[in-house]
Structure 1
Amino acid sequence: MQERKHQHRSRREILRAGGTLIGLMAGASLTSGPSSAGTYPDRPIKIIVPFAPAGPTDIIARVLATHLGQAIGGTAVVENRPGAGGNIGIGVAAHAEADGYTLLVTSSAYVVNPGLYAKIPYDPYRDFAPIAELGTSPNVILAAPDLGVNTVADLVSRAKANPNELNYASPGIGTTPHLSGELFKIACEANLTHVPFSGAGPAIQAILAGTTQVALAALPPAHPHIKSGALKALAVTGAHRWFDLPDVPTMVELGYTDFISDTFQGFLAPAKTPPAVIELLSARSIAILKTAKIAEQLRNDGFEIIANGPEGMKKRIEDEIPKWRDVIARAGIKPV
């Protein structure tokens, strides 16, 4: 893209122009400090995903990156930094330069990890500036078709009759699928051995390959395998049945009161990223998610689109950190 020269303008002038950043042309001047200005973006934007490829966070991040780059007249690329339940990638993003060129798309691990780990490489309240609350997905309990388990009742009976026989895969320690699995064990008084992986993609591959017989995962990476018949969905952990899986019950419907657990995806930037950059990224990402074609694509992939701005993301963080601390305590998981 040919570089354009713009007259130096203050952030206040830019925010006033047109009344909103939504109408700014790509490449409009954004002030990054009281004495410096430049075009944004003038180089590729890196979106860190703190998990392996093919998981729900990676799926939505790649859709966002493709369209966000086009919307702001630049390029956005995804960089996967998996490990330590998401802590490695989140920590990298937390300590990146606050210039709008390193961003984070993360999952519920962001709010779970403060209660799961004795020490984490980020402060969830102070190290990031929320950009947008992207979407959420129910978790799903999966069984291999050749296991001979067709319902949650079948799974509970099998686990009780054969203690220590069944393993369940999850995207990693402390992810909402893992915590859902631990709550399942408590609620059903059934013993399944947890096998953590580095993300949802590897966890799904484990059950497809027969490494584990059961898996808990967010719906998006499991959805195509459920539709193809490669995996059997026993239940979803959302508040209602998924629109194109009408025969898959919720755990609440099966009598497990308050068994609601989902996985969200959020968009954040390092703290002190210029407010004008945050507003631009927020407006454009929300507009992308609300585009009918993209919203339908993501819904078909297993996402419920939220598309809230910074305040919505901030409230979710504040609400869910204490919520998951309580779940971790109830599950008897000690911080590591």
Structure 2
Amino acid sequence: MNASRRQLLAMGALLPFAGATRVYANPGHLRILVPYAPGGAADTLARALAERLSSSGGSAALVDNRPGGGTVIATQAALQAPADGQTLLLIGASFLVQPRLLVKAPYDALKDFDPVILCASNAHLLAVHPSVPVGSLRDFIAWARANTGKGAYASFGRGSSGHLGFELLKKKAGFDMLHVPYKGGAPALQALVGGEVSAMLTDLPQALPFVRSGKLKALAVGSVQRDMSLPEVPTFPEAGVLGFESESWFGLTVRRATAKEQVRELNASAASALAAPELVKSMNTIGLRVVGGEPQAFRSYLEREDARLKEALRLAQIEPE
């Protein structure tokens, strides 16, 4: 078990309700539906928010983990809950991607839900195995162009943010490389460390221990600015690929029928919780950058992200199943 994984588990154990997977019907409770199993970064974020919201003097905020179905199970549970402002859904890129991967989409991401707040994000890192003879992003692109069909890249899974981000990178940089999907970020990263694949757009926090130990080489970060944990690694535009960004992100939404006043109140409460110094510090520890902002700003972000992911799916030639 690597250091990042141990850290996540330790933080989860310290937070209330850790490891619980329950359905809360008490109308006095604020429920945060999480489409992932306990223990990951998204779950840790949700539990930190729940703790802050509960301690702010309002009703208890509780986490309800509903993993599975590529995040669709939790999303459907949110659609079936009363539109009373007491059930929130934590979302990420899969929330936008999954309806495009299914022939019969169970929801419309931009029409069935109202955004509350963009909570946090973490940059993707372009990392390569040490056996790849490159020292920069420009070197990597030149190597990939010269070795078409010889290299492969890993992803968290088909249609994941890392997969789609790499497809966009291939298009922008003009090279081709075989995609090898894995069942999650951890096995994909282990495959890269083990030399099964040459490269990966991975979540920076998980890759950091391997970069620092020399088991991986870091070439560029997908954020707008350099990451404080790897200040020597340039952004993609700095390294020569203009207009390219790639990251994982998490936000809160509610059913579209929820009253606008309730959405504003939820936004204010969540923004206050996200601004707490101890929450910011704990999120930075696991590599998440707290964002915040108004609901409309999150809506604009989702619309841009939806268009970007739609184009990435087209470039990757991923069809609904």
Residues paired across the two proteins, number: 296
**CA–CA distance in structure 1, aligned partners of residues 68 and 126 of structure 2:** 23
**CA–CA distance in structure 2, aligned partners of residues 41 and 97 of structure 1:** 10
Q: 1:215 to 1:330 in 2, by over 3 A?
A: closer
Question: In structure 2, the residue corresponding to 1:267 is in which secondary structure?
Answer: strand
Q: Is the 8 A contact 1:237 1:260 kept in 2?
A: yes
Picking from 161, 176, 186, the partner of 1:176 is 161
Q: 1:50 to 1:158 in 2, by over 3 A?
A: farther
**CA–CA distance in structure 1, aligned partners of residues 294 and 81 of structure 2:** 22
Picking from 176, 192, 208, the partner of 1:207 is 192
Does 2:245 match 1:245? no
Question: Which residue of 2 is the match for residue 194 of structure 1?
Answer: 179
**Per-residue deviation at 1:79?**
0.8
TM-score normalised by the chain length of structure 2: 0.76
**Per-residue deviation at 1:189?**
4.0
Picking from 43, 53, 56, the partner of 1:68 is 53
Q: 1:122 to 1:308 in 2, by over 3 A?
A: same
**Per-residue deviation at 1:63?**
2.7
**Per-residue deviation at 1:56?**
4.4
Does 2:270 match 1:285? yes
Of stretches 203-212 and 164-173 in structure 1, the one that deviates more from structure 2 is 203-212
Code of the aligned partner of 2:241: Y
Q: Is the 8 A contact 2:156 2:163 kept in 1?
A: yes
Of stretches 215-224 and 154-163 in structure 1, the one that deviates more from structure 2 is 154-163
Q: 1:210 to 1:327 in 2, by over 3 A?
A: closer
Question: Which residue of 1 is the match for residue 114 of structure 2?
Answer: 129
Structure 1, unaligned runs of 5 or more: 1-38
Q: Is the 8 A contact 2:34 2:63 kept in 1?
A: no
Structure 2, unaligned runs of 5 or more: 1-24
Question: In structure 2, the residue corresponding to 1:81 is in which secondary structure?
Answer: coil
**CA–CA distance in structure 2, aligned partners of residues 205 and 104 of structure 1:** 30
Question: Which residue of 1 is the match for residue 305 of structure 2?
Answer: 320
Q: 1:78 to 1:311 in 2, by over 3 A?
A: same
Code of the aligned partner of 2:46: A
**Per-residue deviation at 1:267?**
0.4
Does 2:106 match 1:141? no
Q: 1:154 to 1:308 in 2, by over 3 A?
A: same
Q: Work out which of the two has the higher radius of gyration on C-alpha atoms and give 1 or 2.
A: 1
Question: Which residue of 1 is the match for residue 67 of structure 2?
Answer: 81
**CA–CA distance in structure 2, aligned partners of residues 106 and 315 of structure 1:** 15
Q: 1:167 to 1:47 in 2, by over 3 A?
A: farther
Question: In structure 2, the residue corresponding to 1:203 is in which secondary structure?
Answer: helix
Identity %: 32
